[in-house]
Chains A and B, each alone.
Chain A
Amino acid sequence: MTATLALGDDALVLSHRLGEWAGHAPVLEEEVALANIALDLLGQARLLLSMAGDEDELAYLREERAFRNVQLVEQPNGDFAHTITRQLYFSAYQRPLYEQLASGGSAFAGLAAKAVKEVAYHQDHAEHWTLRLGDGTDESHDRMQRGVDALWRFTGELFEPVEGLEIDWRSLRSDWLESVSAVLDRATLTLPAGPQSGAWTAGAGRQGIHTEPFGRMIAEMQHLHRSHPGASW
């Protein structure tokens, strides 16, 4: 249950954040790309939350403290570079995580084997934009570096072991660091030197402790369902 909610909430919350770009993306192609990535994540979330119980009740009727997503995915979109950084950090984590789950014998193996192929495209998308913005104009470089620096302190939590997931966390962390460092380097960006988590952040999202913007995000996400219980399309 802990593991199912951790994986499912990561996907659900990031999906919702990406959905917030609809109508606001800098170009039409990105509008469509971010919505498609959001849809992939929503598909994962639906399967995972259905494994844990009723998907709608879990998504729309839980209080903030009951969500088990990492704090990284709940961070507001910021500018486009900020969103791309969040995508880079998260997809570089989710891909090797799902690769490990796909080769294991747990209940997540089937879903992970399927989703990892989709996540490979999410990572590819984030890496290309990181290169383009980092090695672009002075302005895009500065904004990308600001995003990379600002979200760095939320990355430590990704490697806090989750009960019920048979993962080699040490190798997950080294895979992540290797791919992220390589992309940042090619993008002429600097890998942040600061800590990957503060005392107040380590593992906190997985324990139900979230950052301030998350409350407002789920208020919006849950508003319709709570105002009109049982409503359907």
Chain B
Amino acid sequence: MVTETLLEEELHRLAGSVPDPELPVLTLDELGVLRGVDVLAPGKVTVRLTPTYTGCPAIEAMSADIERVLHDHGIPEVSVVKVLSPAWSTDDISAEGRRKLAEFGIAPPRPHDVTAPAGGPVPLTLSVRCPHCGSTDTELLSRFSSTACKALRRCVTCREPFDHFKEL
């Protein structure tokens, strides 16, 4: 990988500070979807972005937001390209991002078990902690919730339903 220049680093930081359109507590950098910024010529920049889920509609809002932020920073020509490989994983969410998710009321994804077979749902070795009361006694209501990336769970202790950012 080519080392980023100072300008690229600065633009990377700017693009990375854009909030996620659906989970505004997280920045794109914390979500781990920003793959790089390339300055091709003065005033001409390409931003590489990877989608969380293949069909996630948020990527279009993310692209528009990145373009706006970089335009405001004096870059007239910004193109955001979608890269698929290597595939995004919930392991790409930063520690700070996980903390913010929990604070926001969404149970963060658990780290992948390195011994689990690749590509499958993660075996439930660690329990999902309720983001409201902290209890580990929670149950799955549905594998799919308000967005493709979340599952719906309920806390057995405090009885509150909550979203869980499921492992991918």
Contacts and interface: CB of A to CB of B under 8 A. Distances in A.
Interface residues of A, number: 32
Interface in B153-168: 166, 168
Interface of A: 29-30, 32-33, 35-37, 39-44, 46-47, 95, 99, 102, 109-111, 113-118, 120-121, 124-125, 128
A226 B53 CA distance: 29
B139 to A, nearest CB: 13
A32 B54 contact: no
Interface of B: 51, 53-57, 84-89, 119-121, 141-148, 152, 166, 168
Given A32-B146, A33-B144, A117-B119, A41 B55 contact: yes
B148 A39 contact: yes
A114 B88 contact: yes
A36 B147 contact: yes
A150 to B, nearest CB: 25
B86 A118 contact: no
Nearest to B55: A43
Nearest first, the 6 closest Cβ-Cβ pairs linking A and B are: A43-B55, A43-B54, A110-B85, A29-B142, A33-B144, A114-B87
B152 A29 contact: yes
B119 A99 contact: yes
A91 to B, nearest CB: 12
A44 B53 CA distance: 10
A125 B144 contact: yes
A113 B56 CA distance: 16
Contacts of A35: 144
B146 A120 contact: no
A215 B146 CA distance: 32
A44 B148 contact: no
A33 B53 contact: no
Nearest to A34: B144
A124 B121 contact: yes
22 contacts: A29-B142, A32-B142, A32-B144, A33-B142, A36-B144, A39-B57, A40-B55, A42-B55, A43-B56, A46-B55, A47-B84, A99-B119, A110-B84, A110-B85, A110-B87, A113-B86, A113-B87, A114-B54, A114-B84, A118-B54, A118-B168, A124-B121
Nearest to A124: B121
Contact of B53 (A30, A113, A118, A128): A118
A118 to B, nearest CB: 6
A29 B54 contact: no
Nearest to B152: A29
A35 B146 CA distance: 10
Contacts of A41: 55
Nearest to B167: A117
Nearest to A117: B168
Q: Which of B54, B84, B121, B145 lies at the interface centre, i.e. has the most chain A CB atoms within 10 A of its CB? A: B54
Nearest to B148: A36
A118 B152 CA distance: 16
Contacts of A102: 119
A47 B144 CA distance: 22
B44 to A, nearest CB: 24
A113 B89 CA distance: 11
